[in-house]
Structure 1
Amino acid sequence: MEAIRWTEDRLELLDQTRLPHEEIWNTYHAAAEVAAAIRDMKVRGAPAIGTSGAFGVAMEAHRFAGDASIRERVREAISTLRTARPTAVNLNWAMDRMEEVIAQTSDDALLPAKLYAKALQIAEDDVRINRAIGDVGASLFGDHVRILTHCNTGSLATTGYGTALGVIRSLHAQGQLAHVYADETRPYLQGARLTAFELLHEGIPFDIITDSMAGHLMQRGMVDAVVVGADRVARNGDTANKIGTYALAVLAGYHDIPFYVAAPVSTLDLATTSGVDIPIEERNSDEVTQIFGQQIAPVGATALHPAFDVTPGRLITGIITEHGVARYPYEHSLAQHVKGEKSE
């Protein structure tokens, strides 16, 4: 399954607001269009946003190839893309990589090819890294494991394979997986719409549960571990992820169930000291009072919609990256992973 296709002059994104009932590909030719697609959640998931942003910059360079203003145009594109969604750090990480290419390329004529090559490298690395995360995560468990996951962290949320869902894929491929419980993930229903779509496609046994059912399943002994993704991990291990993740971590801790975060090193933000400093995106309240345009609350009712919450590092059993499993206290172990040092 794929959600992103590219060439030098265009980006194609599977419109995730139309899944699971319609598979519609939209084509983009400019960075501003890609930024709008990110804001509108036509593409979502921290790694996928980063990859899409990188190709958005490369397309902008292609659009203005031979133009005297190419550097200015590309830098404007980077600034526009950086602000598309504030919480996921992978987008800024990818923009930093593109800025480095600009700084290292003195010949304007080479910029389009150089930026496209960097975007391609980011995309290819993401798939390789996700597979490594899947294998590292699978090694943590024995046979017949039952995993609860939240939101969508698979091929649709990445360039390919997935982070937390990549762990689940690897477990399934190795015959270790018994069952998956997929939180519906209100209010945008990424679990019910997207994770279920991917699990069905892969033939992985699962049940959708409402977010409020997780505690009941844990109390009944039906969950062996929780594995979730991340949009940003601070230096102390505090992790921003889709709203509802913190509650799962508290429930898992009460029931002595391991709670793992699966994320590439590009999601680690050592410049951010703790979760207090992570910006939390506030989305339109209509996404709470309506479901895809259908009003479900009384007209005039108000709602809050923080798109993410922050799980304290001390509640996280381990953070799975392509370099192994970082453990609490995270200041030292995450720094090792950023340096590329293997652990556990």
Structure 2
Amino acid sequence: MAPLISIKSNGDKLEIVNQLLLPHTTEFLEINSVEDAHDAIKTMKIRGAPAIASLAALSVAQYLTRGLKASHTPDYLQSQEALKLHIDKILAYLFTSRPTAVNLGAATRRLTKLLDERVAVGKDTRTIAEDLIAESKAVADEDIGRNKEMAKWAGEWLLQRVKEQRLDASQGLNVLTVCNTGSLATSGYGTALGMITYLHETGNLQKAYYTQTAPYHQGSRLTALELQTLQIPSVMICDTMVGSLFQHHSIHAVVVGADRIAKNGDTANKIGTYNAAVLAAHHKVPFVVVAPISTVDLDVTDGSQIPIEQRPPIEACLVRGILYPNEGDTQQQVQVMITPSGLEGIYNPSFDVTPAELITAIATEKGVAVKADGASVFDLTPIV
């Protein structure tokens, strides 16, 4: 079956799959402006740190492409100063859409750096715009290749660890993951889910388990759709059942993605990840983070400095799905409130931070980092 995709880009036409409607309805939304991209990211129509960065960059490429094609040259293309001021504002605006995912900041900084360099050497505005378009597209295009690299690094590391510890893997490995980290969260293949896919493709996976992190989060439903599409044997569990899973089933590893990794290895990921890490540590199950280099933020010393996005309280009270039982071919989607109206004091963070001491390994496209003997934090230098 064809892999799922989160973004379609062709010339100056840009579309995303509306992840709020998945897995029951596949609807592509046109992105016709930077404002559309900002809204799609903020309202979680698109999610996953790499996919967010790709959409933001591609919306800049679309904006500049249309400016270059315009019958009348836009004001911002009249001079280098006007172009820099205008694009800087756009990049700053896009950065505000989701504060935790560092990939978005990495993408906007990358474009800012290129803009500054081209202005400094005195290139004309149209050439600068063309260079920015190429760089924006590269942000998205590079994602698939590096995902496959990190997935292989992580998968081979786990296979070697299982072999060294002489664990029973005669039927293949059983791996638990949290949230969605596949093609719908990236530009393709995936990070943590990419590792699971790699194990499946190489005949080394028995079963993938994935958690339902909260009623309103789409992570579990998107993961279900991706694993079903890839025909990977899998089981969904509620996040409160992870401990029971470890007690009664042989789990070889927990593998997760990341929205930001601090210099010491502390990792921010979808809410519920920390819970799984604590339980994994108690049951001596390896806990592996798989993420691109762009997710590592060396300017952040530890997890206490990672900004945690607080979602609107109402989101914790709502769940979306199709009517059940559902008769016929029509799959009517509904959104319902699962709590009493007017609740106060709702705690609704979108992410939590797993401390480095609970993480066994961190894999990027450059390799796998583990802690030195006796250390509680990572040296990420070799893999960034």
TM-score (norm 1): 0.95
- Partner AA of 1:318 in structure 2: A
2:76 to 64, 69, 72: 69
1:251 matched residue in structure 2: 279
Equivalent position to 1:210, from 238, 254, 259: 238
From 110, 115, 118, the equivalent of 1:97 is 110
- The verdict on how the C-alpha distance between 1:182 and 1:91 changes in structure 2, with shifts beyond 3 A counting, is same
State the alpha-carbon separation in 1 of the partners of residues 222 and 97 from structure 2.
22
CA distance in 1, matches of 2:107, 2:10: 18
Which segment drifts farther, 52-61 or 81-90?
52-61
- What is the RMSD computed on CA atoms of the aligned residues? 1.5
- Match status 1:299 vs 2:341: yes
1:124-273 equivalent positions in 2, closer than 5 A: 124-142=141-159, 143=169, 144-273=172-301
State the shift of 1:46 in Å: 0.4
* 1:38-53 pair list within 5 angstroms: 38-53=41-56
Q: What is the SS of the residue equivalent to 2:221?
A: helix
Q: Which amino acid aligns with 2:31?
A: Y
Q: 1:115 aligns with which of 120, 123, 132?
A: 132
Asked if 1 retains the 8 angstrom alpha-carbon contact of 2:157 and 2:368, the reply is no
CA contact (8 A) 1:231 1:267 kept: yes
Unpaired runs of at least 5, structure 2? 78-82, 160-168, 321-334
CA distance in 2, matches of 1:82, 1:331: 29
How many equivalent pairs are there? 338
Given the superposition, is the C-alpha separation of residues 334 and 241 from structure 1 closer, same or farther in structure 2, using an over 3 Å criterion? same
Q: CA deviation at 1:262?
A: 0.4
TM, length-normalised to structure 2 = 0.85
Deviation at 1:7?
Answer: 3.0
The aligned counterpart of 1:5 is 8
What stretches of structure 1 of length at least 5 have no aligned partner? 339-344
SS of residue in 2 equivalent to 1:140: helix
Query: 1 CA distance for matches of 2:112 and 2:13?
Result: 20
Aligned to 2:162: none
Structure 1: how far apart are the matches of 2:262 and 2:245? 30
**Could you say which residue in structure 2 is the equivalent of 1:333?**
379
Runs of 4+ aligned residues of structure 1 deviating over 4 Å after TM superposition are: 329-332
**1:17 counterpart (5, 16, 20):** 20
User: 2:93 & 2:100 partners in 1: Cα distance?
Assistant: 15
TM-superposed deviation, 1:330 = 8.2
Q: 1:330 to 1:67 in 2, by over 3 A?
A: farther
Q: Tell whether the 8 Å contact from 1:51 to 1:159 is kept in structure 2 after alignment.
A: yes
State the match for 1:341 in structure 2: none
Counterpart amino acid of residue 317 in structure 1: T
Q: SS in structure 1 opposite 2:174?
A: strand
Q: CA deviation at 1:193?
A: 1.3
Is 1:60 paired with 2:63? yes
CA contact (8 A) 1:64 1:73 kept: no
Shift, 1:326, TM fit? 1.0
Q: Give the CA deviation at 1:104.
A: 2.5
Q: Note if contact 1:182-1:191 (Cα within 8 Å) is conserved in structure 2.
A: no
What SS class does the counterpart of residue 250 from structure 1 fall into? helix
For 1:146 and 1:213, locate their aligned partners in 2 and report how far apart those are by CA, in whole Å. 16
Instruction: Please state how far the C-alpha of 1:238 moved relative to its aligned partner.
Output: 0.5
Shift of 1:60: 2.2
Q: Supply the distance in 2 between the matched residues of 1:229 and 1:264 (Cα, whole angstroms).
A: 9
Aligned to 2:80: none
Give per-residue Cα distances to partners, 1:79-103, cap 9 Å, x unaligned.
1100000000000000011112211
> What CA distance in whole angstroms lies between the structure 2 residues aligned with 1:191 and 1:295?
19
User: Distance in 1 between the 2:220 and 2:357 partners?
Assistant: 29
Distance 1:182 1:202 in 2: 15
In structure 1, how many angstroms separate the alpha carbons of the residues matched to 2:218 and 2:254? Answer: 17
Instruction: Give the conservation status (yes or no) of the 8 Å contact 1:191–1:208.
Output: no
Asked if 1:28 corresponds to 2:45, the answer is no
Contact 2:150–2:364 under 8 Å retained in 1: yes
1:172-223 superposed Cα distances (whole Å, 9 cap, x missing partner): 0000000011101214333331000000000000011011011001011332
- Structure 2 counterpart of 1:342: none
The residue identity in structure 1 corresponding to 2:189 is Y
